[in-house]
Structure 1
Amino acid sequence: MSSFVRKIISVAACAVLAAIFVVVMTFAAPTVAVAPETYGEITYYDVTHTPDGESISDLTTAVIGEDVTATRIADYVALNKITKVNYVADKFVHPGSFGADVRIVDLTKPFEFAERGTLIFVIMNLDPWHEDFDKQVAALSQFRIGDYLHFSLSLPMVFSAANVYDGANLVARHGEIADYDFIEFTTAYDKRTEKFSAEASATTIDLTFYTRRQAMNVYRVVTVHYQSSGTAYSGIRDVPYIGTESAVAGLHENSQNLLIIFAILAVVALGVLIVLSLLKRTREFVSAIVWIAGISVMLLARFVLRQTTTLPILWSAIAVAAPFAAIGGALLALGVRVKKVRVDYVCAALAFSGVLLAFVCPFAPFIAARNMQIVCTVIKSVCVVALWAFVVLATMKKSTADNYLKTCCVALIAVAATASLFLPNVYPVIYNSVFWLCAAITIMTFVGVFIVFNETEKANSYLTKNLHLEVERQTEDIKAMVAERDNLLRFVSHDMKKPLSNSVALIGTLIDREKDGEQVKALSIVKQNTARVITNLSEIGDYARFNYIAEPSRVADLRDICAELYAFHKPDCEANGVVLKNTVDKHCKAFVKRQGLSNAVSNIIINALEHAECKTITLSVRAERTRVVLCVTDDGRGIDTSSDLFKPYSSDNKPDTGGVGLYICKNIVQSMNGELTYSSECGNTVFSMSLLKA
């Protein structure tokens, strides 16, 4: 099977399986049961306040389903969601009451809540005169403890400050409502809050119902007074859940755990991708970084919104904007061009405009936010169409260089974006197909990171192994070349010195026999030049024989080396009327090639004896921060510093009449990571060898 066919099968299978998963989750997966609206009447005291601060209570009857909405515990299973709430705008209704202008709101549909108001949830007890009363009590055995039925009611986050009452009891406070006097609503708390302070959090309340007919409480009323900043995100946006304590706690705990686990996984994948991009200095992972950043931010925002936060609208804005970033990253992934136009850049720019618009929505008033949401839906629809087109084009491309995993991730993002257009934002996340697709994308991206790591490691291992073999091969070649060169140099030195030495002897004989002064002078010049060639050949022979370059560097004490050189050259210096001084009397260690350094210094001393016309030659050492400098100084006639004495056959007074000694000395010193320089001033010539300090 060709790679092209495998790519088509992989991407198609990924997209089809994801679509099937969404359909199954939508129509076949279990969901939380809806607590049905009950029927009957409620008699309550409608409490009003006169201008002089007096409270007036009127006994009022409300029809359930018409005037108010309520659920009954007889209809509950282990876990239920309440989809309708009683709502009073711009007024804080007395806990346990409803008010004349109460209306029923369906929480599953968009609704414009006022900047402040009252939310009222009514839970009815069993009907004590129902003919199946005993059966109803028995059916609720999972909630029963002794003579009481215990229900756990979980209220979602209310934007952006709220006071929660169970009956007449204050059970929770989140933030502060401006100009709110608690004494008007409860006798157990007499605080007054002056300024608005946002803080949103979920609230869990334990509701108990007596099971004996003689003293049953007919209903429980949970009242929420809220205040917001007056934006589209006012009041309540999610539904409450009621059921057993374990079922409600498990619902939230499972959702929070799933959100934080995949958020951490996404953040880790994001961090690794960023590090890889920086290390490899590549833009290959930019698209994956963008989409995994969008997913990780969305999951983190959703997690924070299940906790207590003082910035609920900001986190809501981040949560609704982040998916557009993930879509934008997916649009960048496949690099689609039409002629010279980067269509992927254009579509990604559209997606990122959706990020900005979606982020602004929660801060806008309700009508403006609804219009913005329509525009966001249009933007997302266009991006989804582009995504599918990009996936098809990338799949049909016959290039084998395409990354299958990247194309599959883009296909999953396309399925998730498509599903989000038609499906509501379901909570808990365990029942949310879009969440699970985001989790799959995160896992696939994480796997992709490890695949890249593995491929990089294999490539590095291959390069390291082959580099090692290549270094070994080249080292052997260099050794062979050096050996061949040394053999050639020894051959040239030995075989050319012998006839030249005989020539010098014969020229000497001719000079002794010659009577003509001009002929003697010419023969002397020939003899001198021939002797110089013999000297150079001797130096070349020594260089080849000792192979100073190949000698390894070791730690050596320059004091000992200078002492040996002083003892070796002192007799020659005294014979020539030159004083040799050794001022190195302290230990000074350096990384050097001992034999090579000794020969280099000896060569410089001999040059000073023969050519400098000096009276004193001095050996000295000075220490610097990381180096040691060994100096050979003479007080001779000096040298011309404009000439390069280290060039072969160079001389300071007669160009092209010198030898190769200093050239060899410089190479020797450089081979030990040192530097050989010279200077001549104030009647002193100094050759300095800068060496690595040990």
Structure 2
Amino acid sequence: MSFKQREASVINLFRIGWRKKMNKVILIAFIKDHLSFTIALYSSAALILLFVWLQTDQQMEFIYPFLLVTFIYIIFMIFRLVQYVRFRKILELESPRDTEENHLSEEQKVVLAMLNQFKSQSLRTINNLEAQNKSKHKVISQIVHNIKTPTAVIDLLVQNSKVDKMDSALEVIDKIHKENRSINENLDQVLSYLRLDYFHHDFSIEEINLNEQLREIINQKKEQFIFNHVFPRFVTTEQANLVLTDKKWNRMLLDQLLSNAIKYTSIKEGEKTITLSIIQENNRVYLTIEDTGIGISEYDLKRVFEPFFTGDNGRKVRNATGIGLFICQNIADRLNHQITLSSKVGEGTKVIVSYLTKL
């Protein structure tokens, strides 16, 4: 006998042993499931015969009625056993066939339908979690890659710098400062992205003063504006524009939009301005952030909110990640704000965020 034949023989013996074991398990489970029914049936038959015997003073035959009950019981249990075995086998299958379901009881069909529904929901949940995990892994990998570039540049600057001249030292410090800012921006982005998972556990809609929050963000970014030679202008006709939002998440949204505007305005020659204007119409407040940056090409506009999409501008700006606007869109959707973007190459980009002023 060859090795393959011996292997096949062992596999067949294993299968036979496994089937016998499974059949034994199914039979024991069947008996346990129907034990209460068996006790109830024979108890009922005994009580009926006892009642009839007490009602009649004549002698009765007890053996034949019990044999008749047992005969009917055995036929019924065989039928139930066939259904039970089929039901157990269907549960073991990946996708049960309709022809097999026809031989099940109504109760088993209901149970099977519920199990299939639960299985479908579980698969959808698993698929969604896997997709989220892949997306998260891709984001983190991309940002780690982006962080490695500035650190390598800093290392190279430190190694090659000659600090014997003040001008050279200041130039090196200036470049290190720029790369360090790039690292901080990437870290802020990855933290914002990771926090989105806990959005629903950490937000509270309230009425805030949008004017006040914008001024706070502009002041916070004052050093970034100066460093990149970009001038911010804030235009509004109202002392206070009250909007319904979450203060922390809205701050994150506006911070990211302004960081984007600064990044793509700073690399353009000529006038470098970012204008923030607020107008109110009916029950909505519209915030417009308009820059004089390099702009976005028309065929890239439809994809700017997609994760990791950098388009033509990604080739011009080294630290472009492609997730900034993706994060903005996610935050805006969850806060029930509307965000739109328009742009022209060489002229600049305009982003409009729409807020509700009351429910």
TM tier, smaller: 0.3 to 0.5
The structure in which a higher percent of residues are helix is 2
The structure in which a higher percent of residues are strand is 1
TM score, norm. by length of structure 2: 0.46
Larger relative contact order (CA 8 Å, sep ≥ 6): 2
